[in-house]
């Protein structure tokens, strides 16, 4: 923990002058924090921050974001450098263990992940219970949660070895479960993982291979998939990561906690935005209709928001969006796509929005979801699978944060309080006496 000193907080409550000394803590980067852990016990006050805009929920060493400068560091390494020079398995090692792995460490990690990619054959029957048109995120929530019914030998979170096996199992099985959700939705047989393929290539193989002919994963698609996994791996204490941390704080098993994270990520304000961006672009349809939608996004009486724009933390360009924006052209060209109408529309929408006073004043920039969908669509990934891919990648971040929390000897169950504005105590009124 960073350096601590106390600062006086003075106020008047019901005519009485109060002065409370609160410890002021400083991390390595980012804002200092006022330590209010003893505020209620010592002074009888709660703090109030319903959407946690000014709340540090934990101490972490994993990811640092500077929203004003558009900076994203994973264990100190800029996301731009990791996206350009690393690969997803190496980034997973970095997030989980804190350092870039040696060649041997990475080989051992990849070998362990590779040999946990299969799922229990019994799990296949779980899919049969879903309708073919079930949203794949609904399947992910159900099947990942069900993993805790299969792996009783890695549920004891107090055993470091079982924790590591559970982490490797989930990172390894997420692509398999995700691809199975897609295959089930199109009525095609499941593909077994192929141990000779990389993590990204194996996912694409399980998604698209047909049993009737050999399937070769395009190196361009493999590289694009790997880069998208890197860019979505972790992002500090976002809503789904906070969900995983809070669920885990009760001692729930990691499979169930990741399932809770998947459920939270599904929301269109969070990971579901990539799917919503593509649906929005298709609804806009043409450059001529952009002003109509910009006007709707600014209209307080219209619930419509420009999906893929805005961020709780970034009040500058999301650095991940910048990387994806640059990758868009490169990947579309390498995939042999001519002009991608949706990309042209997205670039025009971005240009118009970023010159609009409303978006400038509210510092609404494109976020990671704005461009990811365009690349995924060009790769032939169905729109309904976009958030599933986000969940596959973010599982590494969720488990890195989970591991950090479980390893913390001071970990306690998370139990927020409230500002109660309901009825004061009143007596029961029998039905016969109610008005």
Where does this chain bind ligand SDX (CB under 6 A)?
A: 235, 238, 269-271, 273, 297, 305-313, 362, 364, 367-369
Let me know: does 321 contact 228? Beta carbons within 8 Å: no
Q: How far apart are CA 167 and CA 341, in angstroms?
A: 40
H helix intervals, 266-318: 273-284, 290-298
**In the complex, minimum distance from the CB of residue 276 to ligand SDX, in angstroms, rounded to a whole number:** 7
Name the nearest CA neighbour of 399 among 132, 56, 169, 110: 169
Place of tokens 């398999």: 176
CB of 251 to ligand SDX, least distance (A): 25
Smaller CB distance to ligand SDX: residue 222 or 275? 275
Can you give the three-state secondary structure of 40-92, one letter per residue? HHHHCCCCCCCCCCCCCCCCCCCEEEECCCCEEEECCEEHHHHHHHCCHHHHH
Q: Is 301 one of the catalytic residues?
A: no
> Order of strands across the sheet with 71-74?
63-66, 71-74, 77-78
Q: CB nearer to ligand SDX: give 157 or 368.
A: 368
Q: For the CB of residue 296, give the shortest distance to ligand SDX in the complex, in Å.
A: 9
Closest CA to 278 of 193, 190, 377: 377
* Closer CB to ligand SDX, 204 or 307, in the complex: 307
Chain residue whose CB lies nearest ligand SDX: 310
Q: Of 311, 355, 408, 410, which is the active-site residue?
A: 311
Q: In the complex, what is the shortest distance from the CB of residue 309 to ligand SDX, in angstroms, rounded to a whole number?
A: 4
Residue 410 a catalytic site member? no
In the numeric block, the tokens 């107090």 are attached to: 158
User: Please, which residue, 157 or 364, has the CB nearer to ligand SDX?
Assistant: 364
Show contacts of 75-79: CB within 8 Å, 24+ apart. Answer: 75/99, 78/319, 79/230, 79/231, 79/319, 79/320, 79/323
Residue 53 beta carbon to ligand SDX: minimum distance, rounded to whole angstroms: 7
Q: Which of 87, 226, 318, 369 is catalytic?
A: 369
When the beta carbons of 116 and 232 are compared against ligand SDX, the nearer one is 232
Q: Which residues are catalytic?
A: 311, 369
């Amino acid at each position: 923990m960073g350096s601590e000193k106390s600062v006086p907080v003075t106020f008047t409550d019901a005519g009485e002058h109060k002065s409370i000394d609160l410890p002021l803590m400083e991390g390595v980067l980012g804002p200092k924090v006022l330590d209010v852990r003893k505020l209620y016990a010592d002074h009888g006050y709660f703090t109030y921050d319903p959407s946690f805009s000014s709340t540090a929920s934990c101490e972490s060493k994993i990811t640092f974001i500077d929203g004003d400068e558009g900076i994203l560091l994973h264990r100190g390494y800029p996301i731009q450098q990791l996206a350009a020079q690393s690969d997803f398995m190496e980034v997973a090692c970095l997030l989980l263990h804190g350092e870039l792995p040696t060649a041997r460490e990475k080989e051992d990690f990849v070998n362990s992940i590779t040999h946990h990619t299969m799922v229990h054959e019994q799990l296949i029957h779980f899919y049969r219970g879903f309708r073919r048109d079930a949203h794949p995120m609904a399947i992910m929530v159900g099947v990942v949660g069900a993993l805790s019914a299969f792996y009783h030998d890695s549920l004891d979170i107090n055993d470091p070895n079982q924790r590591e096996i559970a982490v490797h199992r989930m990172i390894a099985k997420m692509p398999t479960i995700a691809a199975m959700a897609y295959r089930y939705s199109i009525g095609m047989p499941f593909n077994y993982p192929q141990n000779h393929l990389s993590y990204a290539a194996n996912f694409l193989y399980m998604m698209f291979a047909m049993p009737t002919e050999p399937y070769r994963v395009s190196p361009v698609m493999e590289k694009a998939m790997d880069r998208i996994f890197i860019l979505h791996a972790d992002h500090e204490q976002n809503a789904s990561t906070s969900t995983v941390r809070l669920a885990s704080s009760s001692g729930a098993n990691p499979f169930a906690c990741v399932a809770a994270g998947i459920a939270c990520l599904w929301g269109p304000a969070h990971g579901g935005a990539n799917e919503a961006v593509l649906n929005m672009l298709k609804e806009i349809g043409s450059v001529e209709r952009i002003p109509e939608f910009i006007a709707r996004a600014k209209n307080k009486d219209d619930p419509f928001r420009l999906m893929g724009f805005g961020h709780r933390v970034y009040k500058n360009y999301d650095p991940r969006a910048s990387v994806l924006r640059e990758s868009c052209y490169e990947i579309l060209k390498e995939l042999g796509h001519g002009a991608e109408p949706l990309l042209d529309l997205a670039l025009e929408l971005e240009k118009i929005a970023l010159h609009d006073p409303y978006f400038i004043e509210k510092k609404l920039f494109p976020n990671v979801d704005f461009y990811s969908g365009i690349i995924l669509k060009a790769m032939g990934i169905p729109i309904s699978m976009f958030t599933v891919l986000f969940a596959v990648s973010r599982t590494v971040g969720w488990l890195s944060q989970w591991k950090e929390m479980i390893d913390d000897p001071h970990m306690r169950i998370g139990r927020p309080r409230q500002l109660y504005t309901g009825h004061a105590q009143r007596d029961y009124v029998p039905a016969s006496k109610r008005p």
